[in-house]
């Protein structure tokens, strides 16, 4: 026996689909059905997972950069942060953010170069 999380009735196991907490009868209702059709269930691939972690690290570098900026180390952390954030937005195909990260990277490379570091 299992308790449906929608109607809160106790029903036998065959009234539920595999790994579902809502009984078939409740799941069949139009609103539920319609809402479920709007949501795509998916897990992150290993590539997406790895690039997400790199993205967090890159965001950390970009976050600390303004406080280090008058020195060369601030510009270096901007460049590193821009490069580390790139895979995440590339994998997610967020091309506007790819352009922003490339801009940060090249902008601060130019800054480093023009200051002779």
20 lines the binding site for Zn ion (CB under 5 A): no
91 lines the binding site for Zn ion (CB under 5 A): no
In 1-117, at which residue ranges do the beta strands (DSSP E only) sit?
A: 2-3, 10-11
Give the x/- contact pattern for Zn ion in 24-43, rule: CB under 5 A. --x-----------------
3 lines the binding site for Zn ion (CB under 5 A): no
Q: Which stretch binds Zn ion (CB under 5 A): 21-29, 44-52, 62-70, 96-104?
A: 21-29
4 lines the binding site for Zn ion (CB under 5 A): yes
Q: How far is the CB of 93 from Zn ion (least distance, A)?
A: 38
Give the x/- contact pattern for Zn ion in 45-84, rule: CB under 5 A. ----------------------------------------
Are the C-beta atoms of residues 87 and 117 closer than 8 Å to each other? Answer: no
10 Å CB burial of residue 111 (0-12, 13-18, 19+) is middle
Q: What would the two tokens of residue 77 be?
A: 């952390």
User: Within 13 Å, how many C-alpha atoms sit on residue 114's CB side?
Assistant: 7
Strand partners for 10: 3
Contact positions vs Zn ion (CB under 5 A): 4, 6-7, 23, 26
């Amino acid at each position: 026996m299992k308790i449906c999380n929608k109607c809160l009735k106790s029903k036998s196991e065959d009234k539920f689909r595999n790994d579902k907490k809502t009984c078939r009868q409740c799941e069949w209702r139009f609103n539920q059905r319609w809402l479920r059709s709007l949501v795509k269930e998916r897990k992150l691939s290993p590539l997406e997972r790895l690039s997400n972690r790199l993205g967090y690290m890159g965001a950390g570098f970009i976050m600390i950069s303004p406080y280090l900026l008058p020195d060369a180390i601030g510009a270096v952390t901007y460049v590193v942060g821009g490069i580390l954030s790139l895979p995440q937005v590339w994998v997610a195909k967020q091309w506007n953010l790819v352009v922003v990260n490339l801009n940060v990277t090249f902008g601060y490379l130019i800054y480093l170069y023009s200051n002779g570091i």
